[in-house]
Chain A
């Protein structure tokens, strides 16, 4: 920051240590990520023997072919996209108006509503009572079981409320009221257009949550055709069951595939499926990182 004065020897050494520490952190985090990308396009023989340890060896796209040829993965992908899109829309429709109302100092009862919301951060019914509610609503085995029980998050409501409080000038709202503008018009025509950054942050936080969640699907869905991608991944990565289809496709396929052992195919598919499922988020993440960070910062100011 201030480098007008010459750095002493001790300071230089200190800085070197800081750089070493951060470089170490960089390598530790980056290595597994690079390894997975490399492994997904390498020949399994080299991957399993450890000959491929950083850069791809024996380039092949067989893993991706198997992944894209697997109907289960496609169904999971489609389900996840549907659940994420609808779920995020509902999240926004619930969170934004509520957060706006809570940001208004002339909103009688906002303290009460705030307490109602905050209490749920510290007390909850727990797994079984929540499950019973979902069951009694008849949502078992329906996509709404993955969406409605997570319609809003306390944290995101607070972040959005803080944003509205700090960026929408009070004068603007007063002027609008004097001109006879209703609250609905004010919110739709003035507040929302001014709030693009917070809408992006909210959509991202909620969207990533839907995309990555598996547990609600595990407890509420029992029909495979409704499984989201993460449940399909669980079968492949954790339970180590490949769809019969993929194995079948290989057995009926060309000679090269026939020669490959079952274990090798499994390992090929594993890396490819990790990349394919994480790609949408990893691809947009560097562009949206700023917004994510902003969201956490807005939250921590009030936190």
Chain B
């Protein structure tokens, strides 16, 4: 008895120091783990955090001779120039509308596909459809753009031929600004809708089969079970992906647009990121284009936070 109580007293006395030494011991014992993570940290510092430091040139008149720190501050001059430029609203509209168009068509389709996959038995048909629809995901952007240009070529494109066969008058899809967004969005859907189902299929695999059994006993039809069991199960996944998508609404990438852009369709194909590329790296307006890029990411961050907050308030789904 005495021994036990003594021990307890001793332990409480030593408790704090013990924890400290074990903490220190853990660090010393695991010193190699710091070695493991060092290259990774070095990478993120050099190629992510140093550029973040470099963002200050958006508020400066950056001259490579003077360096980032040595260049003169100009405040919000570059931003004002951008906001007052004649192309500001066009860029903003193109970026927004392409994103929304993409979201409206590209977002629901993988969900529908996944729900359909989930309804049919595992077998040759299901596997073949999955293999085929996933495949375009691995086609490079350059090949994708090449395919679009070839298929829509007025003189020899197969899609143009098909439209003629149906008896319609094909438009000049790549030169007419009115068609650019549709071409961009539909080709993107063709490439990524199949791959996009994977994440929903993972969520659907979590549905408890007993729910379906009980529903069948109660006489629920397939459609009813999809609506009342499958869809509610994937709602959290849908919500999170929707938040991420809306948060990236000004983040239309330049890689595919640059390849499809030409002097005839630029009126509707020029988005903020392609403009940053052109003015920054081709015209060498380094500070100005950094300011434009910064404006873009700030808007994205605000959108992400807002949508996340709305989602949190109206439902229980949010990123954090």
Contact = CB atoms under 8 A, between A and B. Distances in A.
Contacts of A61: none
A293 B198 contact: yes
Interface string B59-76: 000000000100000000
Interface stretch (B3-11, B94-102, B146-154): B146-154
Contacts of A19: 120, 125
B226 to A, nearest CB: 8
A230 B146 contact: no
Contact of A126 (B120, B141, B276): B276
Interface stretch (B50-58, B84-92, B263-271, B310-318): B50-58
Interface in B237-280: 237, 240, 254-255, 258-259, 273, 276-277, 280
A297 B197 CA distance: 11
A278 B156 contact: no
Contacts of A126: 51, 55, 276, 290, 293-294, 296-297
Contacts of B185: none
Interface string A254-269: 0000000001000100
A47 interface: yes
Contact of A50 (B133, B158, B202, B223): B158
B131 interface: yes
A100 B293 CA distance: 34
Contact of A53 (B40, B125, B161, B259): B161
A300 B199 CA distance: 6
A236 B32 CA distance: 49
B119 A26 contact: no
Interface stretch (A65-73, A81-89, A117-125, A193-201): A117-125
Interface in A268-303: 270-271, 274, 277-278, 281-282, 285-286, 289, 292-293, 296-297, 300-301, 303
A134 B134 CA distance: 34
A120 B136 CA distance: 28
Interface in B125-171: 125-126, 128-129, 131-136, 138-143, 145-147, 149-151, 155-156, 158, 161-162, 165
Interface in B281-304: 281, 286, 289-290, 293-294, 296-297, 301, 304
A277 B212 CA distance: 46
B286 to A, nearest CB: 5
Contact of A152 (B35, B40, B150, B213): B40
- What's the interface size class on A, roughly? 35 or more
A291 to B, nearest CB: 12
Interface in B178-231: 190, 193-194, 198-199, 202-203, 209, 212-213, 216-217, 221-223
Contact of A22 (B46, B116, B138, B143): B116
A289 B134 contact: yes
Contacts of B131: 286, 289
A2 interface: yes
B51 A238 contact: no
A11 B221 contact: yes
A213 B256 CA distance: 11
B44 interface: yes
A10 B223 contact: yes
Contact of B259 (A108, A120, A234): A234
Nearest to A93: B39
Contacts of A274: 143, 146-147
Given A30-B132, A128-B293, A36 B147 contact: yes
A94 B155 CA distance: 49
A165 interface: no
A106 B209 contact: no
A98 interface: yes
Contacts of B156: 47-50, 263, 267
Contacts of B155: 48, 263
B129 A129 contact: no
A286 B43 CA distance: 33
A278 B132 contact: no
A29 B194 contact: yes
Contacts of B40: 94-95, 97-98, 117, 151-152, 157
A219 B55 CA distance: 19
A208 B140 CA distance: 9
Nearest to B121: A1
Nearest to A149: B47
B1 interface: no
B51 A130 contact: yes
A10 B221 contact: yes
A183 interface: yes
A151 to B, nearest CB: 4
B52 A183 contact: no
A39 B219 CA distance: 52
B170 to A, nearest CB: 12
Given A2-B212, A29-B133, A126-B290, A183 B33 contact: yes
B23 interface: yes
A172 interface: no
Contact of A128 (B35, B120, B147, B280): B280
B165 to A, nearest CB: 8
Given A101-B34, A102-B37, 4 more contacts: A18-B119, A133-B54, A267-B150, A289-B131
Sorted nearest first, the 6 A-B pairs with minimum C-beta distance are A125-B51, A237-B146, A129-B54, A98-B40, A50-B161, A212-B140
24 contacts: A2-B212, A14-B221, A18-B119, A22-B125, A22-B129, A23-B129, A29-B133, A48-B156, A97-B36, A108-B30, A125-B55, A128-B293, A133-B54, A151-B47, A212-B141, A213-B140, A214-B255, A219-B281, A267-B150, A278-B138, A285-B135, A285-B138, A296-B199, A297-B198
